[in-house]
Each structure stands twice: as C-alpha cells, then as structure tokens.
Structure 1
Amino acid sequence: MGNGIKQIVVVGAGQMGHQIAMLCALGGYRTVLQDVNGEALRKAEANLGERMSDWVKKGKLSDSDKETAFALLSYTDSLEEAVRDADLVIEAIVEQLDVKRDLFRELDRLTPARAILATNSSTMVNSLLAEVTGRPEKVCNMHFFFPPLVMECVEIVMSDQTSEETAAAAMAVCERIGRKGILLRKEISGFVANRILGAIQREAIHLYEEGIADFKDIDVIVKKSLGHLLGPFELIDLSGADVVYSAMQHLFSETGNLRDKPPACILEKVRTGELGRKTGVGFYEYRKEEVL
C-alpha cells in the first residue's frame, strides 16, 4: 500500500490529530489514534462519528465505506501500545518544541526501526526533532492544513538528512488518502503557506493596532478585494490565538527580529482565554454549535 506503509499512528487527538487519523482510515490504512487524555479520545470518537454520519447523509460517503474506515481506526491512551507495529507516526500535539522533542525521543525508542516519524507542526522544521533521534533520515514534516478533512494540501518538508525514500513514502500516503502532497526540499520555519499567511497577518494586525481600520473591516476588505475565503482575524479565530501565538513566538526565538514578536492583541487574547472558535469567543463571538 505505497512504500511499505500499512499501519499509521497519529499522536494527539486534538483538532488536527483526530481528523488526520480519520483521513488515514478512509484511505485504507490501519490507523491508531493515541492521546494520553482519555476524554480527548472520547470526544474525538464522538466527533468523527457525527462527521462521518453527516457525510453519509450528504452522499459524500457510503455506509459501507464508513463502516470499513471505523473498523480500521482504533483509539488508545498508551503510546507504547499504539506505536509497537507502526510504519508511520504522525505527531499532532501542541506547538511547543520541548514537548515535541521529548515525544520524538520516546518515539525513537518505542517504534520499529523501519518507522517514519513525521511532525504535523505548522512552523517547526523537522531537523529540530530529528536531532534527538537515531534516525534523522526517517524524519520529515507532514503539514496538514486545518481542517484536514476539508483542506486538500499537505506540505512535505525534507531536512538535509531526510532520505528520498522517506519523502516518497510520505508523498505516497498523501496520494492514497486523497490529499495533494507538495514536496519542499529545503527547510525554513513556517514553510510556504504559513510564511505567506504570516506576512498578511502581521500587516493586518499592524493596521488594526495602529487604528487604521477595525478588525472586522480589515477582514471584509481582504475577502472582498483579494478573494480570500476568510479574513486574517477570522483565520486567527479558526486556528486559535494560542496556536498563532506559539507559532509567532517560535519564529521570534529563531530570528530575534521584533517584527516577528507576537503582537499585543494576540497576547491579550491568550491571557484572557479568548482563543477563538474553540472557546466560543476570540475576535468574534461564536454560538456553541459553530465551534469546530
């Protein structure tokens, strides 16, 4: 089934992880979704059940394909149990470098030598994680976009040590699960999409904080004049202010450039817990049923 990948493990059952796991199961892979938080696993299972039932109602998925996918998907809070037979592990935990490095040390110890270790990080280059393993040639980025069950693009990023075989296997998985893999052979923090998005967000926030325009008006201008589906502030709410803050802070720690430092309005959202759709309020307010 494409470069020897038969079993995929997704670590982290949050907004990204549980949807990535569902994609893999729909693609015919034996898939394990692992999270140390049992409640997160239960929420993920319930969410996926509702989402796939909705797909069946809308004719996007047959009942038999739904049953097959769920038969391939399992859940566990045990990392050791999850990765014992893994061919590919996709990490989808918090955007904190030290936490990810600790996980990759454990994955290197617990997984078979053949296993590819991929990170879904939206900003961090994989070499920062590969260096704590004994298999840097088998480490890469597989950056899915939110929400993975909707967005079709995946950035596959190689470091100087990532092997061609690893990159080819990651690209083959993307093809199998119906996603467009784009291979980047040179590392840079934020990759392509988020660097472009970051430039837009920085300028939008600057205009807002300088009082040039209200954030709502900035969103309308970007959507109506540039054709974007979401304005920059709507997108911050969708991603989560905490995620945006972590990405900005990571880039700032690398560059030292004040331009990259998280701005005051993002820091304030994190401090107040107004993170966006997942908390029901961010720059905008959201009804309960609209929270993804």
Structure 2
Amino acid sequence: MAIEIRAVTVLGTGVLGSQIAFQTAYHGYRVQAYDIDDKALEAARGRFTTLAATYRAEVMGATDELTERTRAGIGLTTDLAAAVENADLVIEAVPEVLEIKRQTYETLGELAPERTIFATNSSTLLPSDIKDFTGRPDRFLALHFANQVWKFNTAEVMGTAQTDPQVFRAVVDFADSIGMVPIEVRKEKSGYVLNSLLVPFLNAGIELAAGDYADPEAVDTTWRIATGAPMGPFQILDVVGLTTPYNILMSDEQTRGLAAWLKENYIDKGKLGVATGEGFYKYS
C-alpha cells in the first residue's frame, strides 16, 4: 500500500524552517509549524508575511489570494503533542547541534503516531547518528533543503541502512510535489551533496578574513569577478544566517578557531545576517 502524505509538521520556524513550512503549505498540504515559545512564533508570523510578499514578487503565479491563503493557513503552536498528533510527515529543522536533535526525537517518538515519518533537515549531521533516538529508524531519514527554497529548489533525500525503501520513495515523491528537485543520495555522506561542496568553500572564505588576508568584501568581489558567480561566500553566509555555520564550525576541533572569530566579531554583536539587518553587510 502506497504511503500517503497530506499533513506535515515542521519543527523549528527559523529562516529555513519557516521557508519549508510556507513552501509546503503553498503546494496544498496541511501544515503545522512548531517552536519553543511565543516569541519564536511571533517571529515566524513575521517571516511568513515576508515570504508571502517574496513569493508574489518572485514566483510565477503567486497571487495575492494564494499567498495570503498560504500564510493564514499555517498552524502555529508551542504544544509539540498537538503539533504532531495528526502528522503524516514531520520535518525537523531545529538547531544544528546533535544533542538537541537527539533530545527532540526522543520526545517526538513518544508523541507522534506510529505511521508518522520523521525527516531531519540537518545540514551536515548523519541520520545514523540520530536514528536510534527516534523509536522508528525504519521511518526516519534526512530531507535537506537549500536556503531560499522557492528559488534554489533542491531537496536531498538520504536514508540509513534501516530506512524502509517505501518511506524513502514517499519522501522523494513528496519533495517533487512541493516543487523541489529531489536529489537521491545513495549512501550516507556528511554534508550530503550540497554542503560537501559548499561548507569547505564558505570555510575557506572565513579563513581568509579571519587570518586578515583580505576583508569579506574583497573575498566576495574576487569570487564573483573571477568565476561569474552571483554571490561570494560572505554574501551566502549572510543569507544562510551565521548561527548554523557557527555550529558547524564548532563541531570540528580543527575549525573552532574560525568559530571563535565569527562569534566575537559578528554573532556577539547581533550581526547574524540578512534576518537581523546586518551580518558581513548591512541590509535595509
């Protein structure tokens, strides 16, 4: 019997979590979005309003009526049990810290129906590092989105040796149904495809600036002119937001010095990227 996905819950309403929720609702799914407190949900409401305007400006066919219906239709809650009680699929987009993700799944596994599929949007962590905390390793896998999902619309699907092939196929089909291009990763790889390419590139940019070889703007200018790319590493970091790259840098002992530089010069000063109005650049 085919696995049907109609109701989707997104855990975490940060930059990427809110995009995943909006894109999924935009394509007709029932969506619940969960976060830890009312302050986070208030920020999510602002993100959904901004996304509605962005879709109208950038997505063909995104009318006022459709984007407003999408925005208004996303349920918001701080009650995890209520968020997942009817979910066919839960997409987890909590901070990129292994212990937080494991604790989240331990709780989630007790609350969600047995049929519910769990998918982590982790950028670099392996599903096999989390699967034993889910209570359902056969219904667990990674589903990784790129930032600005309506435009950079890849969705990497990566299971473990225990992931049910039918579950894997259902998630691939789901990704396709919400306008993504599914990228099937054949076996586990930290960083998947996208971040195996992107993270070393971003780290190289940070290393140049942290080592005082060149300032961020000079690094970006060099990359854009020499390669024809639309953005340099620091422009990309501002779009992603600096918290996730910081967590990734902290996870590797060899890059913790770069993490400390990022924290001292930017994060501790509230410069987290586009979302806060300033990161390596200032934004209106």
TM-score normalised over the length of structure 1: 0.87
Q: In structure 2, give the amino acid aligned to 1:266.
A: L
| Cα deviation, residue 181, structure 1 | 1.0
Deviations 1:196-246, CA, capped at 9 Å, x for gaps: 112212322333344433321110111121122211111122222221110
1:278 to 2:245 alignment: no
The match for 2:14 is: 14
Change (3 A) 1:47 1:133: closer
Deviations 1:146-175 (A, max 9, x none): 122332111111112112112111111111
- Aligned mates of 1:152, 1:40 — CA distance in 2: 25
Q: What does residue 95 of structure 2 align with?
A: 94
Q: Secondary structure in 1 aligned to 2:44? A: helix
Task: Map residues 71-220 of structure 1 onto 2, 5 A cutoff.
Answer: 72-220=73-221
- Offset at 1:68? 5.0
Question: Is the contact made by 1:201 and 1:232 (CA closer than 8 Å) also made in structure 2?
Answer: yes
After TM superposition, give the deviation of residue 262 of structure 1 in Å: 4.6
Other-structure match for 1:48: 48
Q: Which runs of 5+ in 1 are unaligned?
A: 288-292
In 2, distance between residues paired with 1:102 and 1:147? 28
- The answer to whether the Cα contact below 8 Å between 2:272 and 2:279 also exists between their aligned partners in 1 is yes
Corresponding residue number in structure 2 for 1:247:
248
Over the aligned positions, Cα root-mean-square deviation in angstroms equals 2.2
CA contact (8 A) 2:52 2:71 kept: no
> Is the contact made by 1:276 and 1:284 (CA closer than 8 Å) also made in structure 2?
yes
Give the TM-score taking structure 2 as reference length. Answer: 0.90
How has the CA–CA distance of structure 1 residues 94 and 57 changed in structure 2, closer, same or farther, with 3 Å as cutoff?
closer
Report deviation, 1:67.
5.5
Opposite residue 265 of structure 1, the aligned amino acid is W
Contact 1:245–1:262 (CA under 8 A) maintained in structure 2: no
Identity percentage of aligned residues:
32
Show CA shifts across 1:48-71 (max 9, x none). 234325544776313453455356
Q: Secondary structure at the match of 2:184?
A: strand
- Structure 2's unaligned 5+ residue stretches are none
Code of the residue aligned with 1:233 in structure 2: it is F
Cα 1:46/1:270, change in 2 over 3 Å:
closer
The reply to whether residue 266 of structure 1 matches residue 267 of structure 2 is: no
Structure 2: distance between partners of 1:28 and 1:48: 16
Query: Shift in Å at residue 7 of structure 1?
Result: 0.7
* Deviating more after overlay: 206-215 vs 53-62: 53-62
Q: Cα deviations across residues 15-63 of structure 1 (Å, max 9, x unaligned)?
A: 1112111111112111111112223223323432343255447763134
Q: Distance in 1 between matches of 2:189 and 2:256?
A: 17
